[in-house]
Amino acid sequence: MTDAELKSVVERRLSGDRTGACFAVAVIDDEIARTYVCANAKDAGRIDSKTAFELGSVTKTLTATLFADLMAQGKVSLEAPLASLLPKGTKVPTFQGKPILLKHIVTHTSGLPSLPSRLPLKDPANPYADLDEKTLLESLADVKLAQAPGSRFEYSNFGMMLLSAGIARRAGVDFETLLDRRLFTPLGMEGAYVNERPDTVRVATGHLPNGQPTSAWTFATNLAGVGGVHATLDDMVRYVEAGLGRRKSSITPAVQRTLRPIETPSGQRMGMSWMLTPLGGRTVHVHEGGTGGFTSLVALDVQQRRGVVVLSDTALLSLNGLGSLGMHLLDASVPPGEPRKVVAADPALMDALVGHYELTGGLKLRLGRKGNALEIQAEGQPAFELGYDSAGDFFPLAFDAVLRPKRLEGGGYGFTWIQLGAESEARRVDAQ
């Protein structure tokens, strides 16, 4: 694939998209194709090869690489208990005497919840900013495991923050220093960082799906292995090259070690922080990430020695993320997805949705007509007009959320409300 061919594919997916997002995309094969494309042509200079993006949860694969590197040094083991990486005296939950092992952390089967119970959420736009290691460890005392570790997949940012802090402690340096010495420098990832930005790169501004700029996410350094790395497109190309065996370095064996499947009692097969996904009769490794203003995807087809990186300066996970484009670039039989364009909603659909609802958790909402549009009003709050897009979703014009209509089995319509990464089902509380 040439740069021009890649640009054409990305433009078909993105041009005119209502989010106004910009994508930095690379396909790694015998040659490397790169492109930088924005939904709106006027934003063409917003990102380039010197732009660093927030990677979000793709960072977890980098953390797993550091863990694999420590394994090679004989300093950690997949079969070791989580407690072995934590300060003595830390209360770590067990289930009927069965401990959480480190292999359970890297396969998200530990049974730990998604987030620590004592997360001090002072600013929802920067949710991890005020969390420190002490509070993280104290949150373990609040956990009661519902099943044996290893028995069920449950994605846990909590677990990966514990691993991030634990491997930094075992290595004897802070997490950013460990990343730089063992991973970034050997692979030539000169623009990658956690909190200490190199002078050679500039930070992209993150955006909400409605196109509005939003604040960056920040992490305490030793907890940043959950999602705190920034990197340029070229940085991530070098990382993927190592995973595919196309770039030799001291850390390459550790990157490749994270790709080996790990079997769990639940039957879930994962790499170390990599999702294993069937594609065209093969198994590919994928991880997607997102923060308040960014989305990322890295995918490796080890059998074909082909990889893909997609970095966006806009939060898109609530809009189905980057998976379709990423999989299309690995296998052309997968549709790449289409841009979401603002269109007029069917008046009959809007009329069917008008009514009073209650979300999971108890929040009451009203949907009503406002001329040729739908508007939403939460109890005790002002009303907000909703737009509608070609993917069939309504969205507030003033803030980031999605209202996804769904036809009910008994007739009529309900909807799913998606906001701040959470999905809530709406139950109608008036006469149908």
pLDDT digits (tens, 9 = 90+) for 37-47: 999 999 999 99
**In this structure, what token pair is assigned to residue 54?**
């927030």
Q: Which residue has the tokens 């920067």?
A: 126
Phi-psi region of 54 (alpha: psi -120 to 50; beta: other; left: phi over 0): beta
More confident residue, 268 or 231: 231
C-alpha–C-alpha distance, residues 67 and 130, integer Å: 25
* Strand arrangement, sheet containing 51-54: 202-203, 51-54, 230-231
pLDDT at position 360 = 85
Got the DSSP string for 87-124? -TT----EETTEEPBHHHHHTT-S---SS-TT---S-T
Q: What is the pLDDT of residue 263?
A: 81
pLDDT for 125 beyond 90:
no
pLDDT of 274: 97
pLDDT in tens, 385-400: 999 999 999 999 888 8
pTM here is: 0.93
Mean pLDDT to the nearest integer, 243-250:
97
Closest CA to 26 of 42, 38, 12, 9: 9
Both structure tokens of 209: 């799906």
pLDDT band at 268 (very low <50, low <70, confident <90, very high): confident
Q: How far is CA 310 from the centre of its chain?
A: 12
d(CA 352, CA 137): 49
Is 432 a residue whose pLDDT tops 60?
A: no
